[in-house]
Amino acid sequence: MKLAVVGGGSTYTPELVAGLARERERLDLRELVLQDIDPERREVVGGLAGRMLRAAGYEGTLSVTDDLDAAVQGASFVLIQLRVGGQEARLSDETVPLACGCIGQETTGAGGLGKALRTVPVVLQIAERVRALAAPDAWIVDFTNPVGIVVRGLLDAGHRAVGLCNVAIGFQRAIAPLLGVDPDRVLIDQVGLNHLTWVRAVRVDGKDVLPDLLAEHGDELAEGVELPRALLERLGAIPSYYLHYFYFHDDLFERQRTGTPRAAEVQEIERELLELYRDPNLTTKPKLLERRGGAYYSDAATQLVRSLATGDGDIQVIDIRNNGTLAGLADDDVVEVPARVDSNGPAPIPQAPLAPEMLGLVQHVAAYERLAVQAATTGERDLVYKALLAHPLIGQVPQVDELTESLLAAGREHLPQFESREVTA
């Protein structure tokens, strides 16, 4: 099997390589290609990847290239993990909305829209090369945020794609020790949209133990998502960390307004990581990588690829079409739910309807995501305006007027679709 990683120069890549090395025999991985447009990252990250694979006894080939066509040619899996505009663009996503009185976050709210507008067209261009050159039954696995919006764009264009986030596996790995069981026995029933989910059940060997978990470990669970225990008890569910931006908007806005942007912290972490990666004696991912975020990313990624390749029928939380899974959402909405994954693809596990306090918020954001994809693919300014107007973290005309102009101005270098429409007009 050939697997290509687009954005292979990411500092996350050693995490992924570690997982692929563990699963190399079950995956029958013969060829791994890391593609990236940044020559320094290709050299540094590719060098560490090679040392890690040799230390693990990998007998296949590793290629590092800037040639997208060569990377995806004949590939069975294409993993996409890129950031259009780099950390500088992320800093913009996190700061531009603050000037308008809105949360600045790279996947949620106005910042998430800024990233989607830059990212969706680039991912779709990559996907077209995959369609033309990869194996006929190739899968695109997207880790690029905002995952739900990117995957919706891919599926709308007819690509064989699935999205993946590490939130559910993070819950699984945090909850298993509380229960004193192996993580493989814990099934996280997490539902909603990407970065807008709730864990409504935690099953161990088929039995839901969430009520007992909340009663016995409510403080630890609440601390992990930075939300009050009383909220978890009232909801009877564990919200993802990202619900913090909705449930405590004003508090977080004030902290962001006076604090250091996460993008600045990540830039420094990445600088330190790349220095570590240059060490010719380093053959394992360094502990500092944990501070970069994306915990258990490699485990989630390799589990998904393994199930698609081997057809083992494992249940995993992924981003796929709704197709009636969550009542109250359109069939073509992209939801994040548990699905049974085999070689034919993922099949979502049937779900009970969302409670009203969850469904209302999900419907609101699903409408925004639909408009975000349309705006990114058409370059229509009015759709940017409507997407911002639809988002529950924005939704006020003065902010929407200002943000429409600010986001397009800040991202101008990476938004040619809007430039071309202005010229045409």
Instruction: Give the residue numbers annotated as catalytic, written as ranges.
Output: 242
Rounded alpha-carbon distances, angstroms, from residue 216 to 47, 171, 242, 403: 46, 16, 24, 44
The torsion of the CA quartet 259, 264, 266, 267, rounded to 10 degrees, works out to: -170
Checking 91-95 for CB contacts under 8 A at 24+ apart, the result is 91/261, 91/263, 91/264, 91/267, 92/410, 92/411, 93/263, 94/256, 94/261, 94/262, 94/263, 95/261
* Rg for the chain, CA atoms, rounded: 21
Tokens of 351: 């779900």
Distance CA 196, CA 241 (A): 9
Long-range contacts at 23-27 (CB < 8 A, ≥ 24 apart): 23/302, 23/305, 23/306, 24/56, 24/58, 24/60, 26/306, 26/310, 27/1, 27/3, 27/302, 27/305, 27/306, 27/309, 27/310
Q: Are 159 and 382 in contact (CB under 8 A)?
A: no
Pairing of strands 2-6, 31-35: parallel
- Per DSSP bridges, beta strands 139-142 and 161-163 are parallel
Distance (Å, rounded) from C-alpha 278 to C-alpha 43? 9
Dihedral angle, C-alpha 53, 59, 60, 63, nearest 10 °: 40
Residue 154 and residue 127 in contact, taking contact as beta carbons nearer than 8 Å: yes
CA distance 423 to 425: 5
For the purposes of burial, counting CB atoms within 10 Å of the CB of 27, is it exposed (0-12), middle (13-18) or buried (19 or more)?
A: buried
DSSP state of 108: S
CB 126 within 8 A of CB 150: no
Ramachandran angles phi, psi of 328, nearest 5°: 95, -10
Q: Where are the beta strands (DSSP E) in 222-380?
A: 238-239, 314-321, 334-342, 345-348
Tokens of 354: 């969302």
